[in-house]
A and B are shown apart, each in its own frame.
Chain A
Amino acid sequence: MTSPANSTVDIVRAGLPKRYARERRFRLMGMLAIGLGLVFVAILFLDIFSKGYTAFQQTYVRIQVHYDGSVIDPAGTENPDTLAFADYMALLKQSLREVFPEVTDRRAKRDLYQLVSPGAGQVLRDRVLANPEIVGTTEEVWVLANDDIDMLVKGHIDRDLPESNRRLDDRSLAWFDRLVDQDAIEKRFNITFFSSGDSRQPEQAGIAGALMGSFYTLLLTLLFSFPLAVGSAIFLEEFAPKNKWTDLIEININNLAAVPSIIFGLLGLAVFINFFGVPRSTPLVGALVLTLMTLPTIIIASRSALKSVPPSIREAAMGIGASPLQTQFHHVLPLAMPGMLTGTIIGMAQALGETAPLLMIGMIAFIVDVPQGFTDPATVLPVQIFLWADSPERAFVERTSAAIMVLLAFLITMNLTAVLLRKRFERRW
């Protein structure tokens, strides 16, 4: 009685160390894999953050400006059009010459004007338009510094390099130092980055245009794809007969999910733009293309959400006399909705990060204006990142990273929402 039992125990015990060793090895490998993944994510985030955080500040120069009526409004009409198109840069140049009266020759003057951004006159214009009374008065204004000055302040220009290898020559450095001595140089929060569209001048470039472009595009994508995808999923899962046609459809939906996104871009170009004449570079055509792309993702997620609703719920509803449609809308859909929404958010996050197909439909155009609607030319965040990453100016490097940070923030928020949604509505039957 005892001996066979003992022998079983002995055999099992003899094998135990090996089993446990195997388990430990497996766990170790799993931890290694996760660790490696985390390290790479950390490196990525660190790199982007260390390159990009400086973009959230921008160097400004304080300048004493005299709103000279003879420059702004020589005829004294006080016509808003005249005020809007006046040469405010001339005022700034005038002020700069007053700060550095020793600069007289043309070349030197041109270099001097380079201390401030070519778009610095904008601030003066805004102030005058807001309050035409100030014409003729003098006040202190902080204007955008040029990107080279900004880079110098942020330590990206090395003073020890030979002059010929530097973006700023010794004379400019001397002017800059004098401005610093006068406390006329200051780093402030970079509001331009969030409030303006793209620009050739790094200090004037912002992500507002791309953000609005992304917003309009995603909004339309959501409006197009969600009802379509959920409708298809319900039909395929609940109403369509199971035969070789529905099998074929299912296979093709899965295929569609695997098609490279650039193909969708080509399709959009050929069909939506060239055939249907949808205006190019617009959120509308972008959304149509992204809808094609996200449909399979949402359909597949929605179908599996429907599948996971227990059949007993359907039987209960049918048994009481609910029609198939009532069964779906009163009972099955509410239970499947969290899963469907999760799939939708993940699809939207993909669409938000999508670049390639949008290049094909002209959303890569250089667009300064912030889009105001679905048919304004626009670009989107990832394309903006692509554009900036391609620009030679040093100041675009930090803006690229900053834009990536903004994009990542949105992506993380969306994915977090998806996870929370799933947690919140997880049901046990």
Chain B
Amino acid sequence: MNTLSETIETGPDANLIVPQENEGAFREQQFEDTVGDVTHPNPRISCREVDVYYDHGAVHAIKNVTLDIGTGEVLAMIGPSGCGKSTILRCLNRMNDSIDGCQVSGSIRLDELDIYDKNLDVVLLRAQIGMVFQKPNPFPKSIYDNVAYGPKIHGLAKDKTDLDEIVQTSLERAALWEEVKDRLGQPGTGLSGGQQQRLCIARAIAVSPEVILMDEPCSALDPIATAKVEELIDELRQQYTIAIVTHSMQQAARVSQRTAYFHLGHLVEVNTTDKVFTNPQHHLTEAYITGRFG
């Protein structure tokens, strides 16, 4: 598939250039509605009119975003730095709770469950929605303990053999088992960057979540490690719903079925990945994927 390079070669359109005067009003008017199809016939997570503020309202990071993440799909979130990709992702498992002064309004649901329900147990939610971070962050414990930690605290394993099995299958699914099976007792921090990230993925899937959130999981990895993780994401799709934030459009094109383009806190366009990269509907999307800004 070389659609991407074709787009880049044939893409640019002179009328995309934003006029300098009266820029603010021009932008607001442009963002009114999200272009494309924000819904999914079989949604797992659905966000409706979500607004997120930081610093007790001083920073408006996410503006009126409505978006579905479908069961069994990989949704890629792209957009320039600071557009709010991480923010919306972290809302989905309430990781923003620990940030002082962060306010979320609107509704976010996991199936029928209201994620921002006052009575919702965050611990339970995070057992259902796992997360992989930008920088690999294994615990400074053994490889085994890294993977076993989640099942242990949630009481998922009946006994030691059960736990061993969970650890092994998780590492196998994360395509790491072959590389580490002889040194499970060694510290996870001693692995290479790519291995650490796969270890973090194994750690996330060890608790059998329904959804996995990934925030630029490959940005700290070399191309070979990146390829491995991407391969892995494709396989994980069979069982999990995945939302992935990425800076690399090639990556979005390779791993995702749908792509959401964010700009300054607005969700500008959502479409199938194919469509976004071959035939973007919004001129901002087109400008971004053709490398005009980002």
Contacts and interface: CB of A to CB of B under 8 A. Distances in A.
Contacts of A321: 123-127, 150, 153-154, 207
A17 interface: no
Interface stretch (A169-177, A322-330, A404-412): A322-330
Interface in A292-316: 310, 312-316
B65 to A, nearest CB: 22
B153 A319 contact: no
A335 interface: yes
A317 B140 CA distance: 12
Given A312-B133, A313-B137, A427-B140, A318 B126 contact: yes
Nearest to B100: A242
A136 interface: no
Interface string B141-161: 000000001100110000000
Given A319-B133, A320-B150, A429-B189, A313 B123 contact: no
Nearest to B150: A320
A316 B200 contact: yes
Nearest to A326: B153
A319 B139 contact: no
A330 B140 CA distance: 11
A241 B204 CA distance: 29
B217 interface: no
Contacts of A323: 123
Contacts of A319: 93, 95, 126, 130-131, 133, 204
B130 A320 contact: yes
A316 B138 contact: yes
Contacts of A315: 95, 131, 133, 137
Contacts of B126: 318-321
Interface in A275-294: none
A316 B133 contact: yes
Interface in B95-111: 95, 98, 100
A425 to B, nearest CB: 11
A331 B203 CA distance: 15
Given A326-B153, A331-B139, A320 B133 contact: no
Given A241-B100, A312-B137, A313-B139, A320 B207 contact: yes
B44 interface: no
Main secondary structure of the interface of A (DSSP, over half): helix
Nearest to A242: B100
Contacts of A241: 100
Interface string B184-209: 00000100000000001001100100
A310 to B, nearest CB: 8
Contacts, number: 62
A330 B149 CA distance: 10
Given A242-B100, A323-B123, A317 B139 contact: yes
B135 interface: yes
A335 B138 CA distance: 13
Q: Which of A241, A313, A321, A429 has the most CB of B within 10 A?
A: A321
B89 to A, nearest CB: 11
Contacts of B137: 310, 312-313, 315-316
Contacts of B200: 316
Q: Which of A320, A331, A335 has the most CB of B within 10 A?
A: A320
A322 B123 CA distance: 6
Interface in A236-288: 241-242
A316 B131 CA distance: 8
B161 to A, nearest CB: 22
A235 to B, nearest CB: 16
B140 A335 contact: yes
B201 to A, nearest CB: 12
Contacts of B131: 315, 319
A290 B154 CA distance: 42
B149 A320 contact: yes
Interface in B73-98: 93, 95, 98
B248 to A, nearest CB: 21
Interface in B107-123: 123
Contacts of B125: 321
A320 B203 contact: yes
A318 B125 CA distance: 11
B274 to A, nearest CB: 31
Interface string A154-185: 00000000000000000000000000000000
A323 B125 CA distance: 11
Nearest to A320: B150
Nearest to B203: A320
Contact of A318 (B98, B100, B140, B204): B98
Q: Which of B127, B131, B154 has the most CB of A within 10 A?
A: B131
A323 B207 CA distance: 15
A330 B131 CA distance: 19
5 contacts: A316-B203, A319-B204, A320-B130, A326-B153, A331-B139
Given A317-B149, A321-B123, 7 more contacts: A312-B135, A316-B139, A318-B98, A319-B95, A319-B126, A320-B149, A330-B149
Interface of A: 241-242, 310, 312-323, 326, 330-331, 335, 427, 429
Q: Which 9 A-B pairs have the closest CB atoms?
A: A321-B126, A319-B131, A312-B137, A321-B127, A316-B137, A320-B150, A321-B123, A323-B123, A322-B153
